[in-house]
Structure 1
Amino acid sequence: MSISAAQVKELRDLTGAGMMDCKAALAETNGDIEAAVDWLRKKGIAKADKKAGRTAAEGLIGVDAGEREAAIVEVNSETDFVARNAAFQEIVRNVAKVALAQGGKTDAVAEARYPGSEKSVTETIKDAVGTIGENLGFRRSTKLEVSSGAVATYVHNSVADNLGKLGVLVAIETIGDAQKASAFARQVAMHVAATNPLALSENEVDPAAVEREKAIFSDQARASGKPENIIEKMVEGRLRKFYEEVVLLKQAFVMNPDVTVENALKEAEKDIGAPAKITAFVRFALGEGIEKEETDFAAEVAAAVKS
């Protein structure tokens, strides 16, 4: 099949591999990008362990918090300029308040009444398109809460209070000092912002992702020519390393890389004054997973001139 330059570029952006290697990988996998990433990794050409979501849409991430609860939302716009617009910022703040009150489920938040209005969140955002002058959209929301303890929030690249390009919630259950638990949970939230873990614990990692890693590690080990019993041990070692990289509790703590997050939590329990457990985390990065339409400005101008 014919491999396009756009496919080669996409694979290069994902893996950092050379153009000819990317072209060969796509040819071997019939243009399947994900299979081509695996093909390159098996050959030892690509080092990526996971694909990062591609940030494309603009807008803001917003958070709102109450006692032992917090919510996070994403509201999108066409350009980054809108993120600095006071009217748009107020919309995102209010949508976050609605998410906190409505349990965080996206559909329920979209249909809920917007504060100070008889209209829904969706209708209000549609109305704002005319005044702000850009296409806007409420994309997603969620909420975390605990019966005792705290839910901490962290916003990275903030443009205003509780508004920014990346937001994190971390829930910690404990009957100890809630303020100290919250302070530690906020540190963990900053860690999550930096490391983007796939799961809280090993048993929460997607089984399909684990099997995929096993297959890649096995192929890489067999290429070394070692016997099967040695290959098995090599794969086990690589899987342990994989978990250390993608599981929150197993990761080296950003605040003190000499300990894992799990061990840092045990240390924090002394301050908190009671056993504590991280029960959940949420990380929203603006526009992740949304592919932005690329335009050729020079071609647009040329077309306009010809017409």
Structure 2
Amino acid sequence: MAAFSTLSDFAALVAAGPNADASARADAEARNGQLTKPPGALGRLEDLAIWYASWRGTDRPTLDAPQIVIFAGNHGVCAQSVSAFPPEVTAQMVANFEHGGAAINQLAKAFGARMDVHALALDRPTADFTKAPAMSEAECVAALAKGWDAVDTSADLLVTGEMGIGNTTAAAALGAALFGGAGADWVGRGTGVDDAGLATKARVVDAGLALHQHRAPLEVLRCLGGRELAAMVGAIARARAERIPVILDGFICTAAAAVLEKLHTGALDHCVAGHLSAEGAHGKLLEGIGKAPLLSLGLRLGEGSGAATAIGILKAAVACHSGTATFTEAGVSDG
């Protein structure tokens, strides 16, 4: 069970999270310098492999057991007509995940990942954040704990994804509250809203910001976020506690992750950004947390799909680092 019962307890756990293994990193850097290739020839793959090795505590890691966890939640702010789809779609898509019919299911199979789906009180949407805090402290803590407990501690990589009609509006509100700006600076078309819908989303975010003016990260999450966003925060924090590397997904996942970085600088050192999504403000969020995306494919699906696709990139990095022979092993002269 999660080792916290209040937001303050959770904040203390985040602050106490472990760091990467400096010795393993040094050994991995040394190994990388001895591999049968010109220095730097594999570019960013080399950096990724060394980063991964430092969190796994070995200079020659493997990546065999990735886990993808999808969290689903419903949002009271949907009453403000911020989505092109009704809230009922959330539960329908959860059923699709469970029956293996979604894009994320195919990506999980393609990269050998375990996939778990957690629906969080879909029959009880969060409150409309233009009128009240989205969650009470108890509700926010429960969602954080759901994410914390969802992590398989035997996994060697974590991807968190989400499903929740209206959650691009919640994510935009988080971005604006954490990094500054107005609703228009952060909202995007999400599931495909038209120009009028985009203006509505901006107005709704501004109303939320006006009502909830405190900027403490966990209070921002509680007042403007959603259960699935809070669950992703909990899961990413648990991965840090277990030294499990994380690939972040798109706009919504990155907004959730930003809560951790704002809460404690360096709290996302165990994470890389899987991709740059087509949601306009995602790049601003990535800049805000200091992460460069691995891919830019114009994706805007959510579900963890961009991060899942990037599993292949990280697997390639680890395979080249751990499987390529050194000059000594191969009997090749290094000049």
**TM (normalized to structure 2)?**
0.24
Higher strand proportion = 1
**TM (normalized to structure 1)?**
0.25
